[in-house]
Structure 1
Amino acid sequence: MPDNKTVRINNRLYDAATGLPIEEKAPKTTTKKATGRPHTPAAAIHSAPQRSQTLHRRSTKKPGLPKRPQPGKHMDIARSSAVKRFAPHPVTTQPDPAPVVKDAPAKDHPIVKRAAAKSTPTKSVAATPKQIKDAAIAKALAPDSKRATKKKKESKTKQHKGWTRRKIVFLAFLLVLMGAAAVTYINLPSLSVAFASSQSGVDATYPKYIPSGYGLQQPVTFSNGEVALTFASHSSDHQYTITQSSSTWDSSAVLENVVKKEAGDNYTIDQEQGLRIYLYDQNAAWVNGGILYVITSDAPLSNEQMRRIATSL
């Protein structure tokens, strides 16, 4: 619309004839497209080989420094005989040839010489009839001498083996004898008591407890219906005797017939493992299983030792 038909009021455009506002169109802004580098894929970089920039030395001459001009050789000048500063030319003398030394001839090694000497055939000498006869006799006697030597060796070996076997048997017998002696010595008291028991008719026993410092005195004495075991001290003259005899008494009879006759009322009574033991004047008496046991002692035995002896029978 022409500018004379429009009126601008408060920065707004109106139609002069109608008085209506006219909308103004904003000018179009043209945007320029950015021109960037074209995208090249990574695989396309190595698709075309690059031309070589190396010189071909076969067809190109190697560069070098320029040659400098060299001075030319001067001609020799005639020398005056009056000038003495010039040294005379040395005269070359050829050295005398060295004398030729001839090599020593090759020598055989001593080992090779010995081997060759062994391999050389020796001349055979015909044997005389006497030598032949002696050789035949020696050959005939050789087996007998070898056989005799072999027999001697065998006899010596047999004797040695026999002596060794006898030694072994003797040592074994000696060991058995020593073992039997040791066992017999250990069990000798029990064996002695068993022998006395069988001879007297009393079922006597050997005590399991013996006070320290005492040992059974041999031989074990016995009589008809009675066995006596005497134990003596190893360090003094003290001893005690255990008498075992067959009896039908009970404890009351033992008290009346043995204890009171010996000690009167000076006695004590101990009950130990069902036994009624009477102790008086370092002596003891009790009955058990039809056997009367009496201990008579001059040794300083305590009541506790008496009780242990009684319970061990």
Structure 2
Amino acid sequence: MGQKTVTINGMMYDKHTGMPLREERSHNAPQHHTAAQVHSQLQKSRTLNRKYVAKDHAGPVKRPAATHGVSVHKPATAPLVSRSESISRFAKEFNAAPRTQKRPFNDFGPSIHPIVANVEAKRAASVPAVPRHTPSSVLKNEAIDHALAQVKHTAQQKQVKPVKKTARTTRAISFASGSLALLLVGAYFTYLSMPSLSTRVAAAQAGINASYPNYKPTGYSLNGPVAFDQGSVSMKFAANAGPQSYTLSQTRSGWDSSAVLSNYVEPKTGNQYSTSTTNGLTIYTYGNKAAWVNAGILYTISGDAPLSSDQIQRIATSL
């Protein structure tokens, strides 16, 4: 009988059924390794440092002599599928149609040569212009239309008139007039109060309670600034139409009326004085001069102005 089994890779199979029967085991004994071989380490490299060792000069390489062997030629096999060159993916590169490069499109139109353009311009200038004759009816209609347009434009200009802002203008004028009046009144009162302000400033500088008289004789006005010194203030009044003037002085003093008479009036005049009393003030008058005391301030009037006794009293009571 023939062989009924076949062995493949150490496994035995039935030749007819193909079923595995048994596995043939190898009779080669396994290789045993000692403990020293298992725990041994790899030997370290003993190559010299190439940095400090000169390179070897390699000699000419000896090539082995060529031997004439038997060349084995592989038989050429035909492709399993025939490929047609008419199909684009099977076609070769040299069979492809050559690509034509498109020329850039020039967007500029044809131009005329400068010489030709110059000749044509001269020719056109030399041709005389043919006068155009317009019919008289057309000219008449154009003139009528032009005149009507001018009349209409003039009428529109006359109809459109600027709106007069009378109310606003009147209000602005009234406001300006009122402001000017207020300024004038303020300036007038400032002018009237200027001597009083100057007197107050001088009194503050002098350190006394000096005041400006509310009465001054007719035809006299303050001449120059109010003068002051330590403890005294003086102001000069001059005539508006003459050289006459008088000076009103105010000095701090502790005298009473008797002390003024004995210490100031009598040493200057002797017995040439007159005494008048008004509003609790004792006024001593001698010539064009006068003296009196009130609230610790000695008042004196001196100068060449011909003041009457009544004028001196009114000056004294107005302080």
Which category of TM-score, normalised to the shorter sequence, fits these structures? 0.3 to 0.5
